[in-house]
Structure 1
Amino acid sequence: MKPNLIFIVADDLGYADLGCYGGRPAGFGPVSPHIDALAAGGLRFTEGYSNSPVCSPTRFALMTMRYQYRLRGGMEEPINSRSKGSPTLGLPPSMPTLPSLLREAGYATALIGKWHLGYPPAFGPQRSGYDDFYGIMAGGVDYFSHCSGQGDHDLYENESERHDVGYLTDLLSRRAVDHVHAGAAAARAGRPFFLSLHYTAPHWPWETRDDAHLAAEVAGNLFHLDGGDVETYRRMVHHMDEGIGDLVAALRGEGLLENTLIVFTSDNGGERFSDNWPLVGGKMDLTEGGIRVPWIAHWPAAIPAGTTSAQHCMSMDWSATLLELGGGRPHPEVPIDGVSLAAVLRDPSQTFERPLYWRMRHRHQRALRRGDWKYLKVDDHEYLFDVRQDARERANLAHKHPELLERLRADWLAWEATVPAIPDDAAVSLGYSVKDMPQR
C-alpha cells in the first residue's frame, strides 16, 4: 500500500535550533519535543543540505526535483514583490512538479503554508499540481494581520482571499490537522494523500502567539531588524513544534501514522537569532551555516527508529524520493536532477557518492561538496575545506592540496556549463549575510 506523504518545511530554521540537533532548551523548556520525537522514532541526517541559502530558489528545487537554476524564476535570490504581474518570474504551470506527478500516480495533493513561487494569474499552487491550497503567496507576512511587507493582505484558500483571525502558525497547523481528518477515510480506502506543510515560522517578523499587539507596529515594515530576541525566536519554533505534535496525534488517531512518511527540513540556514552550531554563516551564504539544514524522516512501516545517516543530500533529492515512494515517474522530456534516497531510508547504514553544487550571485559565491571535501569561492577568494573534520570551515587547505583544489574547481565549472547563466537583471535579496552566528 502506498504511503501517505507529508513534507514539512520550516522557514529560516538553523541547523542546531532543534533539540535533536544539539539545540539548548529555552527558558520555558525544550524547544522542539515533538520534532525530536520524530527523529527518535525515525532517521536523522547529519550532513543534509538545502538547494539554496535563500527561500524561493530552494522551493523551485523542491517542486521540480531539478536545480533551480534551470528556470528563470529560480535565479532570483529570492522572488520578491517585483514579480507580481510578471509572466516569467514564477513556476511555469507547464513544468512537471512533485505534486502534479504524484497526482497522476493517484494522490490527493495539498499545500498548506508558504508558496513563494510567483503570483496569480500566471502562477499559483493549483496551477502546479496541488488540488487544494491554504496559505500565503509571498515570502513573508505578519503573523496576525497576514499582510506582506508591501501592506497587501496575503492569506488565501485556493485563489480566494481569507480573512481568518489568528496567529498564522496556528492557522496552518489547524488546517493541516483538519486536512488529515478529512482525507483519512479516502487514505484508508486506498487513495493516499500528499500534504506539503510549509510553515513561515520562524521567519521574521519575530512574533509569538502572545504578540498580537506588535502587528500594528511592524505593519509595512516586516524586516524590522531592530526587533525580536532569542527567546521570542525559540518560542516561534516551539509554536510550530506544537502544531506538528497535533498533526502526528491526528495521524495516530486516524490509524495512519504507521504508513505515513513525514519529512521535516528547513528551506535554508538560519538568520540572526538561529543557532547553527558548529557551523559558521547563515542565510544568503554558501558557508555550511547557510545550506546545511535539519533533515528528519519518520515512517514506522519502513524506517528503523533511532537511526542517523551521514548521507549527503539536498532538497531536490527528497522530492525525488517522495516521487519514487509514491509510485510516480519523472516526465520523460523533463529529466530530474534529484537522486532518490529511498534505499537509505530503508537501510540507513548504506551511503553513496552524491556531489552537490551551488551558486549565488550574492557575493559571487560558488560551492561544491564531494565526499569529505568542499570547494568554496566567495568574491575573489577560494577555499578548500575537509568539512567532515572541519565543519566550521576554519582551515583553508587550498595551499596544501592545490591539485585537489584545481580538480574541484574544474568539476564545478563543468557543472556550471550545464545550467543557464544568471541574467544581469536577476534580483539579489535585500537581506543580510550572517558571518558569525552566536557561539556557545
Structure 2
Amino acid sequence: MDLSFPRKLLALAVITALPALANAADTPAVATAKPGYSGYDHPNQYLVKPTTSIADNMMPVIMHPEQNKETQQKLAEIEKKTGKKPNVIIFILDDVGWMDVGFNGGGVAVGNPTPDIDAVASQGLILTSAYSQPSSSPTRATILTGQYSVHHGILMPPMYGMPGGLEGLTTLPQLLHDQGYVTQAIGKWHMGENEGSQPQNVGFDDFRGFNSVSDMYTEWRDVHVNPEVALSPARSEYIKNLPFSKDDVHAVRGGKQEAIADITPKYMEDLDQRWMQYGVDFLNKMTKNDKPFFLYYGTRGCHFDNYPNAKYAGSSPARTSYSDCMVEMNDIFGNLYKTLEKNGQLDNTLIVFTSDNGPEAEVPPHGRTPFRGAKGSTWEGGVRVPTFVYWKGMIQPRKSDGIVDLADLFPTALALAGKPGAEVSKLVPNTTFIDGIDQSSFFIGTNGQSNRKAEHYFLNGQLSAVRIDEFKYHMLIQQPYAFTQSGYQGGFTGAVMPTAGTMIFNLYTDPQESESVGVRHIPMGVPLQTEVHDYMKILQKYPPKVQIKL
C-alpha cells in the first residue's frame, strides 16, 4: 500500500495535527466545555489525542491512569473476597447481526424476542462499537490470539479440511492454563482441523463440539437446500470423501478426538441443546473446583442452514428458521446464565456476549443490521457486532460507543488473570505482535472509557479502512456491482477496489456510509492518514502472515 499522503493532507499534517497532538489533554468522563471555545469535548473521542507505547510488540494505547488504578483496586478486592482470579466466559454467536438482539433495537421489533439476553445486557456494559473480523474463522482466531487476521494469517474460513489454523500460535487458553485456569471449549471451532490446531492441542483442557462450520455438515445431504448436490450420488460422494471431520466430537488435553455422532440434518436439530447441557454440566462441576475457569462457548446458531430444535420451530413471531434459531439462542444463553446464578458464580465471572461477524446476507433468511454491508465485507454491517460485557457488582450498567475490537479480549482476559498491560508482551515471542488492547479498566472503571484509539479493518490480508471517533477512512472498498447487474447483498461476491484517497464517512450522521465527507473535512483526514501510516510501519516490522486465503 502507498504510504504517501495526498499533498493537501501532508501540508495540513504539519500545520494542524502536530500542535493538536502536543496539546491534547485527558478526555474527561463526561462532555465538557473549554473557556474560549465553542461546543464540547466528549468521552471516547481521541482523534487528536496521542497514544502511548507500552511494549514494542503491542498496540499503543490511550492511557487512563485513574481508571486503571481504580480497576486494579477492585480486582484486588474481589480476589481477596473470593480467594481466586475471576472466571471468564466468551459466548459467541454465529452470523448474528448487530440488530438481531433487543438491546440494539431488534429482538421483538424484528420478530425474534431475546428477553434473557437483553435482561443481562441491561445490567452490563453494552458496546455499540464492537468490531469483529469480516468472517468467522478470522474473528475466532483473533479472539484466541489477540491478533488481527493479518498477523495470525487465517484470512478466510478453512473449508472441507483445508490446511492451516492455530497450530504454532500463542493462544489465550494456553496462557490462562499457565496461570492456573481450567480451560473449556464448547461448540463451533473452525480454526483448523489438522491435529495440531484442534482445541485440545492449543490450550484447552476439554473440548466438545465440531471442528468446522454448520453448512459443511448438511449442504451435501439436504435435498431441499442443495438438490444439485444432494440428489447427485457422484457429487455427494465427492464431498463425503473430502478430508474433513463430519462428527460431533469430544477430546481432552493432548488426546485424540473421539466421535460422538455423525452430524446429519436431523442430528443438527438437537446439536445446540446437546452443547448447552454440556455447558451446564461444566459450570456445575466447576463449583467443586477451587481453580478459576475460562469457557469459550461457540454456538452453532444461527449460521445457515438453520434446523431449529422441534421445540423452537415456529416459536418466533417471524416464524422463519433464522428467527426461531434466535429464540433458541436466547434460551441457551439464559440457561447458562441461570446456572451461574444458581451456583453463586456471577460475583466472580466476566461474561462476554458477541457475534463472529455481521449477517450472512447472501443466504436468506438471515440476520439484520442497520449498517451498510454484511458478513465478508468491511462496511460496518459486516464487522460491527452485537456485544456486551457483564460482571455482577463489578461492571457499571451503561452503554458506550468507545471502540473495542474482539482482539482486545485476549489481553483483557490476561489482565484479569494477573497479567495486565505490558506484561502480556512477556508471555508471547518477541516476533509476535499483539493487536489487542487491555480493556479491563474500560469495562470495570466507573464511567470507564476505551483504551483503544482506532479500529483497523482488513480485507483478505490488506488494511482496507481505519476508524477513529465517528470518522471512518476507506482505502479499499468492495464494489457491489462489479460482476452482477443487480449487485449483491453479502460480502463474498464483490470486487475489492482502491479508493481515490479522501473517502471518509461520518458514522454518526451517515451509518450507511453513503456520502463521503473527506473533501469537506480535509483536516480530519490527517490523523486518519497518520493512523494508516503508523500501522503500515507496524506491518513492516511485524510482517503479514498468510495461512488460509482464497
Deviation per CA, 1:374-393: give whole Å up to 9, x if none.
Answer: 01121133520111332221
Q: Does 1:7 align with 2:107?
A: no
Quote the Cα distance in structure 1 between the aligned partners of 2:319 and 2:299.
19
Q: Does 1:294 align with 2:294?
A: no
Quote the Cα distance in structure 1 between the aligned partners of 2:295 and 2:379.
31
Quote the Cα distance in structure 2 between the aligned partners of 1:99 and 1:11.
20
Once the 2 structures are TM-superposed, how far is the Cα of residue 78 of structure 1 from its aligned partner? 2.0
- Counterpart among 197, 214, 217 of residue 297 in structure 2: 197
The 8 Å contact of residues 112 and 172 in structure 1, kept in 2 or not, is answered as yes
Distance 1:346 1:361, change over 3 A: closer
Aligned counterpart, 1:432:
none
Summarize the alignment of residues 274-285 of structure 1 with structure 2, pairs less than 5 Å apart: 274-285=366-377
The 8 Å contact of residues 355 and 385 in structure 2, kept in 1 or not, is answered as yes
Aligned counterpart, 2:165:
90
- Counterpart among 337, 345, 367 of residue 465 in structure 2: 367
**Structure 1 gaps, min length 5:** 214-228, 429-440
Quote the Cα distance in structure 1 between the aligned partners of 2:380 and 2:444.
27
Once the 2 structures are TM-superposed, how far is the Cα of residue 401 of structure 1 from its aligned partner? 2.9
Summarize the alignment of residues 35-184 of structure 1 with structure 2, pairs less than 5 Å apart: 35-50=117-132, 52-72=133-153, 74-75=154-155, 77-83=156-162, 86=163, 89-92=164-167, 94-141=168-215, 150-151=239-240, 153-158=246-251, 159-163=257-261, 167-184=270-287
The 8 Å contact of residues 201 and 237 in structure 1, kept in 2 or not, is answered as yes
Once the 2 structures are TM-superposed, how far is the Cα of residue 24 of structure 1 from its aligned partner? 4.2
Summarize the alignment of residues 335-350 of structure 1 with structure 2, pairs less than 5 Å apart: 335-347=433-445, 349-350=447-448
Please state whether the residue corresponding to 1:31 is helix, strand or coil.
Answer: coil
- Counterpart among 499, 505, 510 of residue 381 in structure 1: 499
Deviation per CA, 1:204-247: give whole Å up to 9, x if none.
Answer: 1122113999xxxxxxxxxxxxxxx9722111011111111111
Distance 1:348 1:12, change over 3 A: farther
Deviation per CA, 1:158-205: give whole Å up to 9, x if none.
Answer: 11111185611111111111110111111xxx3111100011210011
The 8 Å contact of residues 161 and 193 in structure 2, kept in 1 or not, is answered as no
TM (normalized to structure 1)?
Answer: 0.83
Aligned counterpart, 2:512:
392
Moved more, 9-18 or 164-173: 164-173
Quote the Cα distance in structure 2 between the aligned partners of 1:22 and 1:146.
36
- Between Structure 1 and Structure 2, whose CA radius of gyration is higher? 2
Once the 2 structures are TM-superposed, how far is the Cα of residue 421 of structure 1 from its aligned partner? 4.4
Identity %: 29
Deviation per CA, 1:299-342: give whole Å up to 9, x if none.
Answer: 1131123x111110111112221111122452153452211111
Distance 1:323 1:230, change over 3 A: farther
Once the 2 structures are TM-superposed, how far is the Cα of residue 12 of structure 1 from its aligned partner? 0.7
Aligned counterpart, 1:16:
99
Please state whether the residue corresponding to 2:347 is helix, strand or coil.
Answer: coil
Once the 2 structures are TM-superposed, how far is the Cα of residue 361 of structure 1 from its aligned partner? 3.0
Moved more, 342-351 or 287-296: 342-351
Instruction: Give the root-mean-square deviation of aligned CA atoms.
Output: 2.8
The 8 Å contact of residues 174 and 243 in structure 1, kept in 2 or not, is answered as no
Summarize the alignment of residues 239-318 of structure 1 with structure 2, pairs less than 5 Å apart: 239-272=328-361, 273-305=365-397, 307-318=398-409
The 8 Å contact of residues 282 and 290 in structure 1, kept in 2 or not, is answered as yes
Equivalenced residue count is 398
Once the 2 structures are TM-superposed, how far is the Cα of residue 127 of structure 1 from its aligned partner? 1.1
The 8 Å contact of residues 53 and 285 in structure 1, kept in 2 or not, is answered as yes
Q: Does 1:319 align with 2:410?
A: yes
TM (normalized to structure 2)?
Answer: 0.67
Once the 2 structures are TM-superposed, how far is the Cα of residue 347 of structure 1 from its aligned partner? 2.8
Deviation per CA, 1:395-432: give whole Å up to 9, x if none.
Answer: 21122234544653453244135333476x9533xxxx
Please state whether the residue corresponding to 2:186 is helix, strand or coil.
Answer: strand
The 8 Å contact of residues 13 and 268 in structure 1, kept in 2 or not, is answered as yes
**Runs of 4+, deviation exceeding 6 Å:** 142-149
Quote the Cα distance in structure 2 between the aligned partners of 1:8 and 1:293.
13
Letter in 1 for 2:439: L
Please state whether the residue corresponding to 1:261 is helix, strand or coil.
Answer: strand
Once the 2 structures are TM-superposed, how far is the Cα of residue 349 of structure 1 from its aligned partner? 2.2
Once the 2 structures are TM-superposed, how far is the Cα of residue 19 of structure 1 from its aligned partner? 0.7
Once the 2 structures are TM-superposed, how far is the Cα of residue 146 of structure 1 from its aligned partner? 12
